[in-house]
Amino acid sequence: MAGFDWPALMRAGLHGLRLKPCEFWALTPAELAMMLGQSKGVAPMSRGQLDQLLAAYPDQEGKRDD
């Protein structure tokens, strides 16, 4: 995949952060970036935003997705 320096990311994760390979590969790019100190990202959802989301998409009694 273009745009990722995989050897450098793997060195940072496996050597620098001392992650096990399964832990490294289970991370999302955003999680790895945060662990490496690159905290630029999306602000967490506020309580008001969560309430709006819950109002727009309420749980339906008895409905299961599985």
What is the DSSP track for the chain?
-TT--HHHHHIIIIIIS---HHHHHHS-HHHHHHHTT---SPPPPPHHHHHHHHHHS---TT----
Most confident of 6-15, 18-27, 31-40: 18-27
Query: Rounded to whole angstroms, how far apart are CA atoms 10 and 16?
Result: 9
| CB proximity list for 40: less than 8 A, separation 6 or greater | 33
1 — pLDDT class (breaks 50, 70, 90): very low
Angle made by CA atoms 32, 34, 40, in degrees to the nearest 5: 125
- In tens, the pLDDT along 32-53 reads 888 888 766 667 788 999 999 8
pTM (2 decimals)? 0.53
